Structure 1
Amino acid sequence: MRKFINVPSRLYLAGTLAVGLFLNSCSFFDKAPANEDPDQGLNVNVVEPVKRDYADIKENGVLRMITRYSSNTYFLHQGLEWGFEYEFVNKFADQHDLALEVVVIGPDENPYDLLNSGEGDIIAANYTRTPERKKYVEFTRPYNLVNQLLVFSENIPNAPQTIEEIAKQEIPITVRRNSSYYYRLQELKAEGIDLSINLVSNKKDTESLLYEISNGQYLATVADDNIYQASNKYMQGIKKGPVIAKNDTIAWAIRKNAPNLKTELNRFLYDHFRFGGPNESPKRSTFLNVLRKRYFKEGPHIANYYNPETNMLGGGVISPYDDLIKSVADSAGIDWLLVASIIAQETKFNPNAKSWAGAVGLMQVLPRYSEISSEEMLYDEEINLREGVRIIKEHLNHYSYMDSTDKWSFALAAYNAGQGHVADARRLVIDQNRDPNEWKNVSDALLKLMQRKYYKDARYGFCRGIETVRYVEEIKNRYNIYQTILTLNKESERNAGPGVLGIF
């Protein structure tokens, strides 16, 4: 099991752009390192994929999605996960009763290596199906068609209207070597159009390049039209140029030896995207159209919430309650990011939430287990936080003899299901001659307590163990997300000064 108390060695995130990722990527990945050759293609190291198909994913109960941090793939807004790719893949996961974890591609990581090594199961990052990519991965059926278009800086007063004019004016077009745009530009060069191509680090993404175009660092780049539409809503200084490729197919990438996963994904995608007849637009489901409108089309756009020029008042890096959570958690000697992760899981930072079971407030405190007699008082953010932290602290103390990872796993399980059900699971583990202090064993036992042959003899009876196991794993994974966001925020402040990253 991956440790979650220490800062992860790689950007490993679960299923749920941090504020200003495009800004952060400009400071984080400003130029290709001197020892890096931009002309190194996909630079794949893992070519033999691990054996993990749909049956293995179902048995494990977790689908791992590899993606980039960007406004159209995956990002955080007030501590919660958003993004076109995230919501679309999550829809598939929900229909197949799978938890979704997100693996964000780190600055020194290769998405194809992450996929083939088993770190993730599906690359969902607005990827075009290209011949070079097909050497290493299998693609699903498409779920979108996009046009590649040139994007110019407004520093070019009279932007060229054709690709030939660009070549004549010798305007350098800045792209990544591993992008589909590079291959299209090479095709145009092969057709006799003498284009000037400026290669930059493969660590950059399209959105960060667009931002650099907007502030005049480069003069031109290439983007898919949907990414341009999304970015144009919150970036100033970019303008659209001519289309250089039409109807590129966008699809998810999976391992070549996962035919059953491909079948399930294709069935799902067929319900949401189908090609029309000649001269007809593709047919999309209502759900897919809603996502397209939310992230790419006209009307209120999610990007409005993280426009870097917007002055967000009363917020923090993770949530609107960062300072309060830090104060309460620090006084109890608890990591405040774990408390924030619990709140995100319980109520999505809604202080007025009330569950069907009567749990109230940010941390869903049950009045009957609280030292505060008034339910109304438990809706006060600080009071609720102090009660929730007190309860989780008691659970931590109860399991204090365990190592840090297991201790937190058991405490979270007890916070969700109660110590009684956790104790039943531990007794079941002992009956099986296994270690009751290891979370992996107890999580397996919690799943068994959903079966009558096991819960009929349990002291506290039936337990919806799958919910508790997912609760624990999702909080731990969200904790990793929040650690990464803080790391990016500190890096951004060092490079660009305070205020660059703020709350979505």
Structure 2
Amino acid sequence: MNKKLLKYILIGITISICIILLGTRKERKENSPAPRDYAEIIKEGVLRAVTEYNSVSYHIINDTIEGFDYALLHAFAQDKGIKLEITPEMSFEKRLQGILEGKYDLLATGTLVNTQSKDSLLFTQTLILSKQVLVQRKKETDSLYIDNQLELAHKTLHVIKNSPALLRIHNLMEEIADTIYIEEVELYGAEQLLAMVSEGDIDYAVCDENIAKSALADFPNLDISTYISFTQFYAWGVNKHSPVLLDSLNSWLNSYMETKEYQKLYKKYFH
């Protein structure tokens, strides 16, 4: 198996190591806790966040934890004098369910804000802007190359299960007046989908542009120039029973995003 593909397919092992290194994951009762708001979080002194293990949000390099969302989380927790309990979770469905059940307080990875996702979560102010892109092999290396959205008719797109991007694909079907087949992937994240397209295991995937760009150096045979969506808003999410937490996050973000420290962080991941 190609080393780059193996790197991404075995990401679950890396996540397990990450959790051990953090030492932040505690044993919890079998019964799911109720959603908490800011006062309860401050009282316990622990913020429980769930994120995705990828090259933008949260990852480990040489035993050091890095990532845009991780750095933001760390700065927020330090400012508020609370500890962080971070859980990397590849499944979007499980991240969302964890927030809804109160297992986690904060969905701390850039999540697409649309009418569907707003039915489930309260979102912070916009953290980044991005698009959904078609991941495929380059034209010079693959006869299956697609030049525009109209050519997606009767093609199969692999998408993370229950991703907010599904709504956009269904709307795209209406726009091109034809069928696009969707294969939802539960166990892998965006970077694993890139690896699978690169190796020819699948032909097309739909991913967030920022994550695709960050991993593209590992897959020189891939093309992400075809947009599936227009520019969209991405933010953190909290349970609808946590409005004060949302206000506290927004107030802090408004101030922090004006600092030189934030500008340096943003340029590091979104240049």
Same fold (TM over 0.5): yes
Question: 2:186 aligned to 202, 224, 246, which one?
Answer: 202
Alpha-carbon distance between aligned partners in 1 of 2:129 and 2:67, rounded to the nearest angstrom: 18
Q: How does 1:273-352 map to 2 (within 5 A)?
A: 285-297=259-271
In the alignment, what sits opposite 1:92? Answer: 76
Q: How does 1:424-463 map to 2 (within 5 A)?
A: none
The answer on whether the counterparts of 2:35 and 2:241 sit within 8 Å (CA) in structure 1 is yes
User: Deviation digits for residues 63-84 of structure 1, max 9, x if unmatched?
Assistant: 1110121111111222221111
In the alignment, what sits opposite 1:163? Answer: 149
- Larger RCO (CA within 8 A; separation ≥ 6): 2
Question: 1:146 aligned to 130, 140, 149, which one?
Answer: 130
Pairwise CA distance, 1:49 = 8.0
Pairwise CA distance, 1:288 = 3.4
Alpha-carbon distance between aligned partners in 2 of 1:158 and 1:272, rounded to the nearest angstrom: 45
Partner secondary structure for residue 188 of structure 1: helix
Pairwise CA distance, 1:150 = 1.4
The answer on whether the counterparts of 2:91 and 2:186 sit within 8 Å (CA) in structure 1 is no
Q: Does 1:222 align with 2:206?
A: yes
The answer on whether the counterparts of 2:113 and 2:234 sit within 8 Å (CA) in structure 1 is yes
Residue type at the aligned position of 2:264: V
Pairwise CA distance, 1:21 = 5.8
Question: 2:89 aligned to 99, 105, 130, which one?
Answer: 105
Partner secondary structure for residue 232 of structure 1: helix
Pairwise CA distance, 1:130 = 2.6
Alpha-carbon distance between aligned partners in 1 of 2:121 and 2:92, rounded to the nearest angstrom: 20
Residue type at the aligned position of 1:152: Q
In the alignment, what sits opposite 2:9? Answer: 23
Alpha-carbon distance between aligned partners in 1 of 2:100 and 2:144, rounded to the nearest angstrom: 46
Q: How does 1:27-66 map to 2 (within 5 A)?
A: 50-66=34-50
Partner secondary structure for residue 260 of structure 1: helix
Alpha-carbon distance between aligned partners in 1 of 2:259 and 2:147, rounded to the nearest angstrom: 35
Question: 1:182 aligned to 166, 170, 176, which one?
Answer: 166
* Distance change (3 Å), C-alpha of 1:241 and 1:107: closer
The answer on whether the counterparts of 2:35 and 2:105 sit within 8 Å (CA) in structure 1 is no
Cα RMSD between the aligned structures? Answer: 2.7
The answer on whether the counterparts of 1:72 and 1:227 sit within 8 Å (CA) in structure 2 is yes
Alpha-carbon distance between aligned partners in 2 of 1:131 and 1:243, rounded to the nearest angstrom: 20
* Distance change (3 Å), C-alpha of 1:244 and 1:62: same
Alpha-carbon distance between aligned partners in 2 of 1:129 and 1:69, rounded to the nearest angstrom: 20
The answer on whether the counterparts of 2:35 and 2:101 sit within 8 Å (CA) in structure 1 is no
Moved more, 66-75 or 156-165: 156-165
Aligned pair count?
247
Moved over 4 A (4+): 25-28, 106-109
TM-score by length of 2: 0.81
Alpha-carbon distance between aligned partners in 1 of 2:239 and 2:224, rounded to the nearest angstrom: 35
Alpha-carbon distance between aligned partners in 2 of 1:292 and 1:126, rounded to the nearest angstrom: 13
User: Deviation digits for residues 7-50 of structure 1, max 9, x if unmatched?
Assistant: xxxxxxxxxxxxx762315999xxxxxxxxxxxxxxxxxxx982
* Distance change (3 Å), C-alpha of 1:161 and 1:27: farther
Alpha-carbon distance between aligned partners in 1 of 2:231 and 2:176, rounded to the nearest angstrom: 22
Determine which structure has more spread, i.e. the larger CA radius of gyration. Answer: 1
Residue type at the aligned position of 2:110: N
Partner secondary structure for residue 133 of structure 2: strand
Alpha-carbon distance between aligned partners in 2 of 1:202 and 1:131, rounded to the nearest angstrom: 22
The answer on whether the counterparts of 1:26 and 1:212 sit within 8 Å (CA) in structure 2 is no
In the alignment, what sits opposite 1:191? Answer: 175
Pairwise CA distance, 1:235 = 2.4
Residue type at the aligned position of 1:263: D
Moved more, 208-217 or 152-161: 152-161
Q: Does 1:133 align with 2:117?
A: yes
The answer on whether the counterparts of 2:150 and 2:176 sit within 8 Å (CA) in structure 1 is no
Residue type at the aligned position of 1:178: N
Alpha-carbon distance between aligned partners in 1 of 2:87 and 2:12, rounded to the nearest angstrom: 21
Q: Any gaps of 5 or more consecutive residues in structure 1?
A: 1-19, 29-47, 274-283, 298-504
* Distance change (3 Å), C-alpha of 1:127 and 1:107: closer
Partner secondary structure for residue 10 of structure 2: helix
TM-score by length of 1: 0.45
* Distance change (3 Å), C-alpha of 1:225 and 1:108: closer
* Distance change (3 Å), C-alpha of 1:152 and 1:26: farther
Partner secondary structure for residue 246 of structure 1: coil
Pairwise CA distance, 1:250 = 0.6
Alpha-carbon distance between aligned partners in 2 of 1:132 and 1:162, rounded to the nearest angstrom: 26
